[in-house]
Amino acid sequence: MAYLRDEAAAIGPGGRIPSVRDVCATMGASPVTVQRAITELSRQGVLEPRPGVGTFVAESRAIAPPRDDSWQLGVLGAWDESPGTRAFEMARPGQLELSSGYLDATMQPVELVARAARRVAGNARLWGRLPVEGLADLRHWFARDVGGGATEEQVLVVPGGQAALATTLRALSPYGGAVVVEAPTYFGALTLTRTLGLRVVPIPVDDEGIVTAGLEAAIRSSGARVIYLQPAFSNPSGVVLSAARRREVLAIAEKTAAFVIEDDYARDLAYASVPPSPLFREGPGRVVYLRSLTKTTVPGLRIAAIVAHGPVLARLRALRAAEDMFLSGMLQGLALEVVTSPAWEAHKKSVRATLRTRRDVVLKALADHFPSARVLRVPEGGFSVWVSLPHGVSERALADAAFERGVRVTEGAAWYPPGKYGDHVRIALSGAIAADLDRGVTTLGRIGEKMAKVAARAG
């Protein structure tokens, strides 16, 4: 990109830049890399591709006077961007991606999805209007998958895990109400609580999951009606809720008349062949279960399910009807084809094995290049390695310095409500191949070790 910028400046507006082939020869880069650079510079208004003709330097445009839209703040109120908001951003072209929770291109089942798409495209029924709750066969699959006596009548199909969580929080928590969460917890859940006007009650986790001592008192004092949990490989800590804690959480929820939202995002990502049993099976009337397919397939397959027993199901259904009326039948049909394909189990096995290999690569790179950092627990599922930074190393400074060197990692504050819980970073295993993870963690470690030495000398 820097080379092309220099070329554009030298050639001037309207001039034609060298061909992709010429740039490849000059820079020693692949055509894909060159095309990505051209695309990004085109988006920035530097270049103007003309299909079949070539790529030209964009004509200079007159700079319009800046608009003053500050009046909007008087209506909307001030808005402080949180670290969780930044965590939603995508990596820039050429960056090493250590932050994404989606499978990278090498792990995505593109061929499986493409074959499924060809099969469902001609199904006229899927182009029409479907029930609010979703395609019956897909709901049946979700019900069978979660178990616990669930039936297809107790399943709502929704457009992705984030939508499932948003709907459930709106249904269970009044505006201004409180939600108990693990600390740390999924940054998307924290962002949702802010946008929905909910108060967060953080409870720390240890090696057995959410700490139950004081949980009942926290619920009663805050008036919380909801406990949000990721019992299996909690994102980002990787902790699994122990059998004893599962019983304690359900008992406390029953005593305090609270719901448990179980976010089973990593159901297909247990490195062992059998994932932890859903908490839903032990408390189906108390637990509202969320299950997404996106993390194991492709980012564009935004399909998830909410499973619930009792009157809450009618409220959830009403909210989905008001927001969407119904979900695209093509997406639902595509999801059903994928999860019922003979290749589905082999794909999941491959993903689990790849993530486990990448975990080991990251752990070795940390040990070799960032020995002063600590991995609080070695994850046995999910896609996160949660790293505690050495004393005096700021997570934000480390993330910013890594960003400048082409490595994208998100600081730990994104996974906590406001307040300081020490300095951490989360390294995601799913968004980069093993070699890139090794290079990214090596860069991160070298920066972190320098910062740690400076902090040691200063303190």
Neighbours of 333 (CB within 10 A): 23
Domain that residue 372 falls in: 83-108+345-458
181/311 same-domain check? yes
Q: What is the pLDDT of residues 61-80, one digit of tens each?
A: 655 567 777 777 777 776 66
* Interatomic CA distance for residues 408 and 413, integer angstroms: 15
Answer yes or no: is pLDDT of 366 > 60: yes
| CATH number for the domain harbouring residue 46 | 1.10.10.10
Task: Please say which residue of 318, 339, 360 terminates a domain.
Answer: 339
pLDDT level of residue 84 (50, 70, 90 thresholds)? low
> Mean pLDDT over residues 15-41, rounded?
90
Task: Please say which residue of 286, 308, 339 terminates a domain.
Answer: 339
Nearest to 302 by CA among 269, 260, 335: 335
274/305 same-domain check? yes
127 within some domain: yes
309/349 same-domain check? no
Q: What is the pLDDT of residues 99-114, one digit of tens each?
A: 999 999 999 999 999 9
241/389 same-domain check? no
Answer yes or no: is pLDDT of 334 > 90: yes
Answer yes or no: is pLDDT of 244 > 90: yes
> Mean pLDDT over residues 131-136, rounded?
94
59 conformational bin, left if phi > 0, alpha if psi -120 to 50, beta if neither: beta
The secondary structure of residue 103, as a DSSP letter, is P
Q: What is the pLDDT of residues 301-314, one digit of tens each?
A: 999 999 999 999 99
**Pairwise pLDDT comparison (331 vs 75), residue with the higher score:** 331
99/185 same-domain check? no
Written as six digits, the tokens of 345 are 């189990």
149/241 same-domain check? yes
- pLDDT at res. 88: 66
66 within some domain: no
Answer yes or no: is pLDDT of 157 > 90: yes
19/122 same-domain check? no
102/116 same-domain check? no
Lowest mean pLDDT among 63-77, 138-152, 214-228, 314-328: 63-77
Nearest to 409 by CA among 418, 401, 419, 421: 401
Amino acid 119 reads R
Contacts of 219 (CB under 8 A, 6+ apart): 180, 201, 227, 252, 256, 258
354/416 same-domain check? yes
Q: What is the pLDDT of residues 115-127, one digit of tens each?
A: 999 999 988 888 8
Answer yes or no: is pLDDT of 177 > 80: yes
- pLDDT at res. 87: 60
Number of domains in the chain: 3
**Pairwise pLDDT comparison (272 vs 338), residue with the higher score:** 338
Answer yes or no: is pLDDT of 193 > 60: yes
pLDDT level of residue 32 (50, 70, 90 thresholds)? confident
Q: Is the peptide bond before 184 cis (omega within 30 degrees of 0)?
A: yes
195/224 same-domain check? yes
322/263 same-domain check? yes
Contacts of 181 (CB under 8 A, 6+ apart): 189, 190, 193, 200, 201, 202, 203, 227, 228, 417
